[in-house]
Chains A and B, each alone.
Chain A
Amino acid sequence: EIVLTQSPGTLSLSPGEGATLSCRASQSVSHNYLAWYQQKPGQAPRLLIYGASSRATGIPDRFSGSGSGTDFILTISRLEREDFAVYFCQQYGGSPLTFGGGTKVEIK
Protein backbone atom coordinates (compact mmCIF):
# COMPACT_ATOMS: atom_id res chain seq x y z
CA GLU A 1 0.00 0.00 0.00
CA ILE A 2 1.04 3.61 -0.52
CA VAL A 3 2.15 5.30 2.69
CA LEU A 4 1.62 9.06 2.87
CA THR A 5 3.83 11.12 5.15
CA GLN A 6 2.72 14.65 5.98
CA SER A 7 4.93 17.42 7.26
CA PRO A 8 5.21 19.34 9.39
CA GLY A 9 3.15 17.76 12.12
CA THR A 10 2.11 21.17 13.40
CA LEU A 11 2.29 24.61 11.78
CA SER A 12 1.94 27.66 14.03
CA LEU A 13 0.94 30.71 12.03
CA SER A 14 -0.96 33.98 12.34
CA PRO A 15 -4.08 34.98 10.41
CA GLY A 16 -3.11 36.55 7.09
CA GLU A 17 0.03 34.46 6.74
CA GLY A 18 0.50 31.80 4.10
CA ALA A 19 0.74 28.08 4.83
CA THR A 20 2.56 25.34 2.95
CA LEU A 21 1.73 21.73 3.81
CA SER A 22 3.59 18.76 2.39
CA CYS A 23 2.47 15.23 1.58
CA ARG A 24 5.03 12.70 0.39
CA ALA A 25 4.08 9.28 -0.97
CA SER A 26 6.11 6.09 -0.59
CA GLN A 27 5.61 5.43 -4.30
CA SER A 28 4.32 7.39 -7.23
CA VAL A 29 0.60 8.19 -7.04
CA SER A 30 -1.05 7.03 -10.24
CA HIS A 31 -2.59 9.83 -12.32
CA ASN A 32 -1.79 12.22 -9.44
CA TYR A 33 -4.91 10.98 -7.71
CA LEU A 34 -4.25 12.92 -4.52
CA ALA A 35 -6.84 14.71 -2.41
CA TRP A 36 -6.69 17.11 0.53
CA TYR A 37 -9.19 17.40 3.36
CA GLN A 38 -9.75 19.85 6.19
CA GLN A 39 -11.06 18.61 9.53
CA LYS A 40 -12.20 20.66 12.50
CA PRO A 41 -12.76 19.22 15.99
CA GLY A 42 -15.88 17.10 16.22
CA GLN A 43 -16.57 17.36 12.48
CA ALA A 44 -16.21 15.08 9.50
CA PRO A 45 -13.47 15.84 6.98
CA ARG A 46 -14.26 18.30 4.21
CA LEU A 47 -12.89 17.71 0.72
CA LEU A 48 -10.77 20.64 -0.46
CA ILE A 49 -8.72 19.40 -3.42
CA TYR A 50 -8.87 16.38 -5.71
CA GLY A 51 -6.66 15.30 -8.57
CA ALA A 52 -3.78 17.08 -6.81
CA SER A 53 -4.86 20.54 -7.96
CA SER A 54 -8.62 20.79 -8.59
CA ARG A 55 -10.68 22.60 -6.00
CA ALA A 56 -13.84 20.89 -4.83
CA THR A 57 -17.18 22.67 -5.09
CA GLY A 58 -17.41 25.77 -2.94
CA ILE A 59 -13.76 25.82 -1.84
CA PRO A 60 -12.24 29.32 -1.74
CA ASP A 61 -9.42 30.07 -4.16
CA ARG A 62 -6.99 30.77 -1.31
CA PHE A 63 -6.64 26.97 -1.20
CA SER A 64 -4.49 25.48 -3.94
CA GLY A 65 -2.87 22.14 -4.54
CA SER A 66 0.17 21.23 -6.56
CA GLY A 67 2.65 18.46 -7.11
CA SER A 68 2.97 15.18 -8.91
CA GLY A 69 4.44 11.72 -8.55
CA THR A 70 5.43 11.40 -4.91
CA ASP A 71 5.48 15.01 -3.70
CA PHE A 72 2.39 17.12 -3.19
CA ILE A 73 1.73 20.51 -1.61
CA LEU A 74 -1.35 22.23 -0.21
CA THR A 75 -0.99 25.99 -0.08
CA ILE A 76 -3.26 28.34 1.83
CA SER A 77 -2.44 31.79 0.56
CA ARG A 78 -3.79 33.95 3.40
CA LEU A 79 -4.99 32.17 6.50
CA GLU A 80 -8.37 33.15 7.82
CA ARG A 81 -9.50 32.21 11.32
CA GLU A 82 -11.75 29.42 10.01
CA ASP A 83 -8.74 27.78 8.29
CA PHE A 84 -7.11 26.73 11.56
CA ALA A 85 -7.73 23.00 11.53
CA VAL A 86 -6.12 19.66 10.72
CA TYR A 87 -5.39 18.82 7.09
CA PHE A 88 -5.11 15.32 5.66
CA CYS A 89 -3.93 14.13 2.28
CA GLN A 90 -5.37 10.98 0.70
CA GLN A 91 -4.32 9.00 -2.34
CA TYR A 92 -6.75 7.14 -4.56
CA GLY A 93 -4.35 6.05 -7.26
CA GLY A 94 -3.91 2.66 -5.70
CA SER A 95 -5.83 0.29 -3.50
CA PRO A 96 -6.26 0.40 -0.61
CA LEU A 97 -7.04 4.07 -0.32
CA THR A 98 -4.70 5.59 2.22
CA PHE A 99 -4.50 8.82 4.19
CA GLY A 100 -1.63 10.78 5.64
CA GLY A 101 -1.26 11.34 9.36
CA GLY A 102 -2.30 14.98 9.17
CA THR A 103 -0.87 18.47 9.69
CA LYS A 104 -2.37 20.69 12.36
CA VAL A 105 -2.46 24.38 11.50
CA GLU A 106 -2.75 26.28 14.74
CA ILE A 107 -2.94 29.95 15.66
CA LYS A 108 0.40 31.34 16.75
Chain B
Amino acid sequence: QLRLQESGPRLVKPSETLSLTCTVSGDSISNSNYYWAWIRQAPGKGLEWVGSVYYTGLTFYNPSLESRLTISVDSSKNLFSLKLTSMAAADTAVYYCARPFVPFRPTISFDSWGQGALVTVSS
Protein backbone atom coordinates (compact mmCIF):
# COMPACT_ATOMS: atom_id res chain seq x y z
CA GLN B 1 0.00 0.00 0.00
CA LEU B 2 1.34 3.40 -1.01
CA ARG B 3 2.32 5.76 1.78
CA LEU B 4 3.80 9.23 1.54
CA GLN B 5 5.26 10.93 4.60
CA GLU B 6 6.40 14.54 4.80
CA SER B 7 9.21 15.45 7.16
CA GLY B 8 11.15 18.57 7.98
CA PRO B 9 11.08 21.61 10.26
CA ARG B 10 7.69 23.04 11.13
CA LEU B 11 8.95 26.51 12.01
CA VAL B 12 11.04 28.62 9.64
CA LYS B 13 12.27 32.19 10.13
CA PRO B 14 11.53 34.86 7.54
CA SER B 15 14.12 34.97 4.74
CA GLU B 16 15.34 31.45 5.55
CA THR B 17 15.07 28.35 3.37
CA LEU B 18 12.45 25.65 3.86
CA SER B 19 13.59 22.06 3.29
CA LEU B 20 11.02 19.29 3.26
CA THR B 21 11.31 15.63 2.35
CA CYS B 22 8.66 13.18 1.22
CA THR B 23 9.51 9.55 1.89
CA VAL B 24 7.64 7.09 -0.30
CA SER B 25 6.83 3.54 0.72
CA GLY B 26 4.82 0.97 -1.18
CA ASP B 27 6.05 2.15 -4.58
CA SER B 28 9.39 2.78 -6.23
CA ILE B 29 10.03 6.34 -7.34
CA SER B 30 12.46 5.17 -10.04
CA ASN B 31 10.34 2.32 -11.42
CA SER B 32 6.82 3.70 -11.42
CA ASN B 33 7.03 6.52 -13.99
CA TYR B 34 5.03 8.96 -11.89
CA TYR B 35 5.68 12.67 -11.51
CA TRP B 36 5.83 13.21 -7.76
CA ALA B 37 4.34 16.49 -6.59
CA TRP B 38 4.27 19.09 -3.84
CA ILE B 39 1.04 20.96 -3.18
CA ARG B 40 0.44 23.50 -0.42
CA GLN B 41 -2.54 24.99 1.34
CA ALA B 42 -2.43 28.20 3.35
CA PRO B 43 -4.55 28.05 6.53
CA GLY B 44 -8.22 28.27 5.64
CA LYS B 45 -7.43 28.74 1.96
CA GLY B 46 -7.43 26.79 -1.26
CA LEU B 47 -4.77 24.53 -2.71
CA GLU B 48 -1.73 25.59 -4.73
CA TRP B 49 0.36 23.27 -6.88
CA VAL B 50 4.01 23.92 -6.07
CA GLY B 51 5.77 21.63 -8.54
CA SER B 52 6.48 18.09 -9.71
CA VAL B 53 9.54 15.92 -10.29
CA TYR B 54 10.26 12.78 -12.31
CA TYR B 55 12.76 10.17 -11.14
CA THR B 56 15.23 11.44 -13.75
CA GLY B 57 15.23 14.83 -12.05
CA LEU B 58 13.05 16.50 -14.67
CA THR B 59 10.99 19.17 -12.91
CA PHE B 60 7.90 21.26 -13.53
CA TYR B 61 7.41 24.29 -11.30
CA ASN B 62 4.62 26.74 -10.64
CA PRO B 63 5.86 29.97 -12.26
CA SER B 64 4.79 31.93 -9.19
CA LEU B 65 7.39 30.05 -7.09
CA GLU B 66 9.95 29.03 -9.69
CA SER B 67 12.59 31.62 -8.80
CA ARG B 68 12.75 30.34 -5.20
CA LEU B 69 12.03 26.65 -5.70
CA THR B 70 14.07 23.48 -6.12
CA ILE B 71 12.49 20.03 -6.17
CA SER B 72 14.80 17.05 -6.36
CA VAL B 73 14.64 13.28 -6.12
CA ASP B 74 16.82 10.69 -4.39
CA SER B 75 15.90 7.35 -5.93
CA SER B 76 18.35 5.44 -3.74
CA LYS B 77 16.38 6.53 -0.66
CA ASN B 78 13.01 6.53 -2.43
CA LEU B 79 12.27 10.11 -1.50
CA PHE B 80 11.88 13.52 -3.09
CA SER B 81 12.52 16.92 -1.60
CA LEU B 82 11.49 20.53 -1.74
CA LYS B 83 13.60 23.60 -1.05
CA LEU B 84 11.96 27.01 -0.98
CA THR B 85 14.18 30.02 -0.35
CA SER B 86 13.42 33.47 1.05
CA MET B 87 10.46 32.25 3.10
CA ALA B 88 7.87 34.83 4.08
CA ALA B 89 4.66 34.81 6.10
CA ALA B 90 2.70 34.19 2.89
CA ASP B 91 4.48 30.83 2.60
CA THR B 92 2.90 29.59 5.83
CA ALA B 93 0.91 26.56 4.74
CA VAL B 94 0.34 22.85 5.01
CA TYR B 95 2.71 21.27 2.51
CA TYR B 96 1.51 18.00 1.00
CA CYS B 97 3.40 15.56 -1.13
CA ALA B 98 1.28 13.65 -3.61
CA ARG B 99 1.28 11.11 -6.43
CA PRO B 100 -0.89 11.46 -9.55
CA PHE B 101 -3.53 8.91 -10.38
CA VAL B 102 -1.82 8.01 -13.68
CA PRO B 103 1.90 7.80 -14.61
CA PHE B 104 3.78 9.70 -17.29
CA ARG B 105 1.80 12.93 -16.87
CA PRO B 106 3.51 15.89 -15.15
CA THR B 107 0.31 17.90 -14.83
CA ILE B 108 -2.61 15.81 -13.70
CA SER B 109 -4.81 15.17 -10.68
CA PHE B 110 -3.73 13.35 -7.55
CA ASP B 111 -5.19 10.35 -5.77
CA SER B 112 -2.48 9.68 -3.18
CA TRP B 113 -1.46 12.26 -0.61
CA GLY B 114 0.71 12.50 2.44
CA GLN B 115 -0.84 13.65 5.69
CA GLY B 116 0.65 17.12 5.24
CA ALA B 117 3.14 19.18 7.19
CA LEU B 118 2.14 22.56 8.61
CA VAL B 119 5.04 24.95 8.14
CA THR B 120 4.86 28.29 9.92
CA VAL B 121 7.04 31.24 8.98
CA SER B 122 7.71 33.34 12.02
CA SER B 123 10.61 34.96 13.81
Answer whether A47 and B108 are a contact pair too, CB < 8 Å, given A97-B49, A100-B46: no
B110 CB contact (under 8 Å) in A1, A33, A47, A102: A47
Q: Scoring A residues 22 to 54 as 1 if CB is less than 8 Å from chain B, else 0, what string do you get? A: 000000000001010100000011010010000
Residues in chain A near residue B47, CB distance under 8 A: 37, 45, 88, 90, 99
Proximity string of chain B (19-51) to chain A, C-beta cutoff 8 Å, 1 when within and 0 when not? 000000000000000000000000001111100
Residues of A within 8 A of B62 (CB): 96-97
Smallest distance from the beta carbon of B67 to chain A beta carbons, Å?
14
Q: B107 at the A/B interface (Cβ < 8 Å)?
A: yes
Chain B interface mostly: loop
Binds A, one of B7-15, B72-80, B83-91, B113-121: B113-121
Q: How far is the CA of A37 from the CA of B105 in the complex (A)?
A: 19
Quick one: which of A56, A99, A101 contacts B49, CB cutoff 8 A? A99
Contact B108 A56 (CB under 8 A): no
Do A92 and B46 have beta carbons less than 8 Å apart? no
Interface size class of B (residues with CB under 8 A): 20 to 34
| CA distance in complex: A23, B23 (Å) | 33
Complex CA–CA separation, A1 to B103 (angstroms): 23
Please give me the residue from chain B that is nearest to A101 by CB atom.
B46
Interface residues of A in 76-92 (CB under 8 A from B): 88, 90, 92
Residues of B within 8 A of A47 (CB): 101, 109-111
Q: Please, which residues of chain A bring their CB within 8 A of the CB of B98?
A: 44
Within 8 Å CB of B114, what residues of A? 44
Instruction: Looking at the assembled complex, report how far the CB atom of B85 sits from the nearest CB atom of chain A, in whole angstroms.
Output: 19
In the complex, what residues of A have CB within 8 A of residue B60's CB? 95
Task: Kindly state whether residue A7 has any CB partner on chain B within 8 Å.
Answer: no
Closest 3 CB pairs of A and B: A44-B113, A35-B109, A97-B49
Interface residues of B (CB under 8 A from A): 45-49, 60, 62-64, 96, 98, 101, 105, 107-111, 113-116
A-B contact pairs, 6 of them (CB 8 A): A56-B111, A92-B109, A96-B49, A97-B62, A101-B45, A102-B46
